Structures are given as structure tokens and as C-alpha cells.
């Protein structure tokens, strides 16, 4: 679950994402028209405001599901407060098995599993609320839950046969057995397709013989069932054999599986993280997930589907940090005033709150769309993971700052949260890689449409005119955004148009070379994050106003505040991405300095004392 920080691995996965898209594009080229998408973020790369999946805000739990959630949440919070001890878990680097068993009785380990397989039968919005509660109390415990059900056995739910589901899911959903997701290896972090673990078919054709080792596996020390990714020789159409990644359901009971000691981590210490080694493990052929060679697809489906749980955890964490901050600044007196009266404190509090509001809006927009059967959400999920993990760290850091020296003390509890939340920017897709994934995937989609649009002299001229004059986004914000937020909506619409122009310019300039333009790609992704989070915020606030929410006026003001700042950030990033002359000079300087440092084996600086 933990991924490596290797720069080369990150670049490799970004390339693999793009090359996968290029392969798909080659097939699509045979058809006259490019494939259309209803995803807001995909169409953003064309400068189009396709917002049917955003407006109206799609979060709609019926009364039965709301009641289910209430009946579940109350005992969950009670157990987290009275039975689980996050400070002790952090100190001992362990969550006691008896605590896990108590939580299993609530159904917390099979939240999304249907009742007929002994699960709670929740939908994704209910799952998000559950993860949010965990994030507010103990992130390490939340990781145990997530590693178990969001990715550990998620492959069986998504890709498993009916026989596989019936055999494995009931025990896993009930917490009688635990699962882990085994992908990462010493040389495989973000570059998921480069696994070295191998699975060879036995002579009698009844088993795969699995050999290899995995590192940083969450739940690795006690998991009973593993989703393992390994290279297998796959016959090609021409009769040749090629190594491809496949996915397997592997039981510890098969034998030949050993786990290393608990890793010494910066945070999430209560979660179990170990190496896992496979030595001639005999895996029945019926335990393959999907089919031979589909392992990369299976892994990406699992990660995309489970990625919304991190934003949900972060939402709960931010609420916890903000609540502790409010309690402190409304009682702490300095210079004859309560801290809440100082302008800088107020500014920090509202920044923290606006980040929470944006994260929560993105999270439940994503979960709601998943619940209504929308399949294409990989870019929205990536944005949710990035914005949530970065906002959570920022909010916790500011909470510590506003507590002063007390915030640094262990007894306040914030230092543990800061250590815990830091990992969320790394695993389940390092944010650096996800930014490149967003930009390259979106650019590929826009590029296919540009190619189709540019066919013929008229099309080329049209594109040139569009680059100079801009193009309409096709938005209907005046109809779907509340009238009190129209100024924010107009600002958003302007940046959507600029975004499309910027991407078009980069594609026309660099063509396939765009894959290596990381300076521009990162800024394009940053702008996409600002724009998508802003439209989620406007949708949610409009929904609250329309339904006369008790917090409608507050939501209107915090939405306006957030969008104003986000659009400034989007504009800054798009301007930087478009500035060809300055970029060339700056990137050359960065490249030169980096080569000097690395070529020297460290900093080449002479200390001023030695001059």
C-alpha cells in the first residue's frame, strides 16, 4: 500500500498511463469521430463545461439509508471513543486484535458488501461517511479498514467470479478474516507494471507457483487473504510468449508465505505494515482474478474505485483539527484579547474551513456519482485524492500553529495526526504521479478531438482563430448556479475557457513531446484541481441554498471565498504553463542545477566560512 518515492518510478508510471492512452488512441483513430465523455474534468481539457454530472449536486440518500447510517454511526463513534485508544496504538505500533474483533461486530469491515454476502449493504456515500468518522478519530485504524476493504479484497468484489465471491467475501466482510493488497516491491513503487514477483503454471496445469517478495504491505503481518500481483508468461496471438502482470487471490493457508516484522514508520503506527514473501506458493488456477495478463487493469480498477476513501478520511481529520482549533482560539487570551479576535487567526481559520468545504464537496460529489452508476471518474478520483491529502496536512499544520507551543505537545494530539496524515500524499497513487496522470490523460482526450477538428484547411483556420479569440465553454451556469453565486460562476467559466486554450496551445506546440513537459503538466493539473473543486463547491452551495439548509448563508459565503481564491490560483498556473519563453529558460536552469548537484553526489556549495 505504501509506494516508493523514486523519481524514475514516478516518471515511468506517468509514461505508462500515457502510452496506454496512446494505444487506445491508435484504435480509436480507425473511427471517424473521437470517443465522447460526460466527465467534467475530461471535457475541461477541451475548454468545455460539461456539467451534467455536477449539477444538481447528486447527493441523495433516501430516509432508509439515512436511518441505516445513523444506527451505524452512533455505536461506531462510541466504540472509537471508549474502546479504541489511538494514542496507545501509536505508542505500541499495534491495534489489539480484540479491538478489531469488537469493530467487526458492527459490520465495519464489510461496509460496501451486500447483505447476502454478510456485508452491511452500504453505498459509496455511506462508506464515505464511515471513513470520515474514522478519520476524525484514528487515521491508523482507518488505514487498517481501508487496506482491508477498499483495496484488500476490493478486487474480488470488482473482478471476482461468483464462486470466488461466495468463497471469500463472507469471512472477509464479517471480519473473521483480513485482507491485504500486495503490489509494491523494492523496485516497484509508482511503476506498477514493473513487478518482479512471478507465477508459473505447474506441470499438471492445476496451480500457479508463486515466488517473490512485496514490501510495505498494510495488514501484511496478519492478513489471511492477499490480492497479489505477479508476472505470468502469456501466449500471444502469433504463438509467442510475453510476460504480463496477472492478479491472484492468495491465502496464507496455502503455505510458503512469511511476513516480516512491523515497519518503523513516521505515522499511522497502529496500522500493520510489513514485508510479505512468497516461496513456491501453490495457488489454484481458479484463484486468478479476471484473466491472465489483466493484472495492471485489475490494479488500476481497484485503486480508482477505492480512492475516494482517502478524501473521506481527510474530511473527518480536517473537521477534528478545526474543532480543536475553535475550542482553543475561543478560550485562549493573549495581549488582553481572545485569539479569535485577531485578524490573522481569523484568516487562518477561514482558510482551513474553506479547504474542508471544498474537500468534502469533491468527496461526496464523487461518491454520489459512483452510486448512480457513472463509470468514468478516474480523473475526478485522482483530483479528490490530491486535494484532500494536501488540504488535510495544511489544515492540521495550521491547527498546530494556532495552538502555539501546546500544539507541539503530544498531549494535544495534533502532532500524531500530522504524522499520520503525511502518508496520504504518497500511497494509493503518489500525488506527483497523479498530477501527471490527470494532465496526460486529459491532454490525450483533448488531442484526439483537436485532430478530428483540424482535419482540412477550414478546421486548421478555425483552431487558429479559436486560439486568438477564445471559444465558448457551453456552460449553463446561469441556470444551475444560485443567483447569489453568479459572480463566482462567471469567474469559473472564464478559467475553463482559458484552460482549454492553454491545453490546445501546448498540444499544438509540443504534440507527442507533451509527455516530457512536466513543468507545464504539473501546472495544468494544478489548475484542473482548482477548477474541479470550485465547480463542486458551487454545486453543493447552490444545492444547500435551494433546499433552504440551516447553513445556507454560511455555505454561500464560504463558497464565494473559496472560488475567488481558487480561480486566482488557476489563472496563475495557466499563465505559467503558457509562458513558453520564460519556461524554456527556467526549465533549463532547473535542469542544469539539478545535474550539478547529482553529478557532484551532493550539494556543490562551498561554506561561507571557508571562503
Give, as one character, the DSSP assignment of residue 429: S
What does each C-alpha distance from 28 to 33, 451, 459, 504 come to in angstroms?
8, 12, 20, 20
What does each C-alpha distance from 587 to 5, 146, 456, 516 come to in angstroms?
22, 39, 35, 12
Q: What's the rounded Cα separation, in Å, for the pair 91 and 312?
A: 25
Q: What's the rounded Cα separation, in Å, for the pair 102 and 108?
A: 10
Burial class (CB in 10 A: 0-12, 13-18, 19+), 336: exposed
Residue whose grid cell is 485504524: 141
Q: Give, for 259, the enclosing helix (H) or strand (E).
A: strand 257-259
Within 149-271, where are the H helices?
Answer: 154-159, 162-173
What do you get for the CA distance between the two ends of the chain, in Å? 48
Within 83-234, where are the H helices?
Answer: 86-92, 97-104, 124-137, 139-145, 154-159, 162-173
Q: Give, for 590, the enclosing helix (H) or strand (E).
A: helix 580-600
Long-range contacts of 31-35 (CB under 8 A, 24+ apart): 32/452, 33/452, 34/445, 34/448, 34/449, 34/451, 34/452, 35/448
**CB distance 386 to 428 below 8 Å:** no
Phi and psi torsions of 213, nearest 5°:
-140, 145
Within 116-203, where are the H helices?
Answer: 124-137, 139-145, 154-159, 162-173
Residue whose grid cell is 542545477: 593
Q: What's the rounded Cα separation, in Å, for the pair 271 and 255?
A: 24
Q: What's the rounded Cα separation, in Å, for the pair 503 and 570?
A: 13
Q: What's the rounded Cα separation, in Å, for the pair 447 and 530?
A: 22
What does each C-alpha distance from 514 to 179, 284, 406, 493, 521 come to in angstroms?
40, 44, 48, 25, 8
Q: What's the rounded Cα separation, in Å, for the pair 503 and 512?
A: 13
Residues marked active site are found at: 428
Give, as one character, the DSSP assignment of residue 204: T
Output the nine-digit C-alpha cell for 247: 492478479
Amino acid at each position: 500500500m505504501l509506494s516508493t518515492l523514486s523519481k524514475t518510478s514516478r516518471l515511468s508510471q506517468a509514461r505508462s498511463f500515457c502510452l496506454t492512452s496512446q494505444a487506445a488512441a491508435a484504435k480509436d483513430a480507425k473511427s471517424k469521430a473521437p470517443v465522447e465523455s460526460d466527465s467534467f474534468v475530461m471535457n475541461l481539457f477541451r475548454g468545455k463545461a460539461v456539467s451534467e454530472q455536477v449539477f444538481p449536486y447528486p447527493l441523495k440518500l433516501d430516509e432508509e439509508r439515512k436511518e441505516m447510517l445513523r444506527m451505524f454511526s452512533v455505536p461506531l463513534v462510541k466504540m472509537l471513543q471508549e474502546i479504541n485508544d489511538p494514542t496507545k496504538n501509536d505508542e505500541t505500533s499495534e491495534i489489539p486484535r480484540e479491538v478489531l474483533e469488537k469493530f467487526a461486530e458492527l459490520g465495519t469491515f464489510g461496509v460496501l458488501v451486500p447483505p447476502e454476502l454478510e456485508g452491511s449493504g452500504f453505498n459509496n456515500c455511506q462508506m464515505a461517511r464511515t471513513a470520515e468518522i474514522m478519520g476524525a478519530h484514528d487515521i491508523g485504524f482507518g488505514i487498517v479498514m481501508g487496506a482491508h476493504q477498499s483495496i484488500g479484497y476490493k478486487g474480488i468484489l470488482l473482478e471476482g467470479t461468483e464462486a470466488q465471491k461466495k468463497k471469500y467475501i463472507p469471512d472477509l466482510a464479517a471480519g473473521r478474516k483480513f485482507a491485504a493488497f500486495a503490489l509494491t516491491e523494492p523496485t516497484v513503487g509508482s511503476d506498477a507494471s514493473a513487478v518482479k514477483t512471478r507465477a508459473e503454471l505447474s506441470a499438471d496445469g492445476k496451480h500457479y507457483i508463486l515466488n517473490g517478495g512485496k514490501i510495505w504491505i498494510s495488514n501484511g503481518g496478519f492478513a489471511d487473504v492477499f490480492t497479489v500481483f505477479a508476472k505470468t508468461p502469456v501466449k500471444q496471438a502469433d504463438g509467442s510468449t510475453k510476460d504480463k502482470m496477472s492478479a491472484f487471490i492468495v491465502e496464507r493457508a496455502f503455505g510458503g508465505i512469511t511476513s516480516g516484522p512491523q515497519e518503523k514508520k513516521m505515522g499511522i503506527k497502529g496500522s500493520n505494515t510489513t514485508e510479505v514473501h512468497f516461496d513456491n506458493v501453490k495457488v489454484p488456477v481458479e484463484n486468478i482474478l479476471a484473466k491472465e495478463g489483466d493484472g495492471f487493469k485489475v490494479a488500476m480498477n481497484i485503486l480508482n474505485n477505492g480512492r475516494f476513501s482517502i478524501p473521506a478520511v481527510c474530511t473527518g481529520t480536517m473537521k477534528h483539527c478545526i474543532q480543536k482549533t475553535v475550542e482553543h482560539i475561543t478560550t485562549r487570551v493573549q495581549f488582553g484579547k481572545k485569539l479569535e479576535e485577531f485578524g490573522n487567526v481569523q484568516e487562518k481559520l477561514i482558510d482551513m474551513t474553506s479547504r474542508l468545504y471544498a474537500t468534502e464537496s469533491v468527496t461526496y460529489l464523487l461518491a454520489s456519482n459512483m452510486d448512480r452508476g457513472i463509470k468514468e471518474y478516474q480523473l475526478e478520483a485522482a483530483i479528490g485524492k490530491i486535494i484532500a491529502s494536501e488540504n488535510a496536512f495544511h489544515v492540521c499544520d495550521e491547527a498546530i500553529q494556532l495552538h502555539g507551543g501546546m500544539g507541539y505537545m503530544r498531549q494535544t494530539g495534533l502532532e500524531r495526526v500530522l504524522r499520520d496524515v503525511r502518508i496520504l500524499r504518497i500511497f494509493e497513487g503518489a500525488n506527483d504521479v497523479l498530477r501527471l496522470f490527470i494532465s496526460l490523460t486529459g491532454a490525450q482526450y483533448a488531442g484526439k478531438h483537436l485532430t478530428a477538428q483540424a482535419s482540412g484547411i477550414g478546421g486548421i483556420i478555425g483552431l487558429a482563430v479559436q486560439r486568438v479569440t477564445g471559444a465558448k465553454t457551453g456552460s449553463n451556469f446561469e441556470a444551475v448556479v444560485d443567483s447569489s453565486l453568479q459572480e463566482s460562476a462567471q469567474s469559473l467559466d472564464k478559467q475553463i475557457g482559458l484552460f482549454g486554450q492553454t491545453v490546445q496551445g501546448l498540444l499544438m506546440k509540443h504534440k507527442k513531446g507533451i509527455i516530457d513537459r512536466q513543468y507545464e503538466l504539473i501546472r495544468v493539473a494544478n489548475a484542473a484541481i482548482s477548477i474541479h473543486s470550485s465547480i463542486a463547491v458551487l454545486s453543493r452551495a447552490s444545492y444547500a441554498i435551494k433546499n433552504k439548509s440551516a447553513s445556507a448563508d454560511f455555505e454561500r459565503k464560504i463558497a464565494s471565498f473559496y472560488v475567488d481564491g481558487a480561480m486566482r490560483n488557476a489563472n496563475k498556473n495557466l499563465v505559467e504553463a503558457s509562458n513558453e519563453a520564460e519556461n524554456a529558460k527556467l526549465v533549463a536552469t532547473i535542469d542544469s542545477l539539478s545535474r550539478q548537484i547529482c553529478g557532484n553526489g551532493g550539494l556543490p556549495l562551498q561554506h561561507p566560512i571557508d571562503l
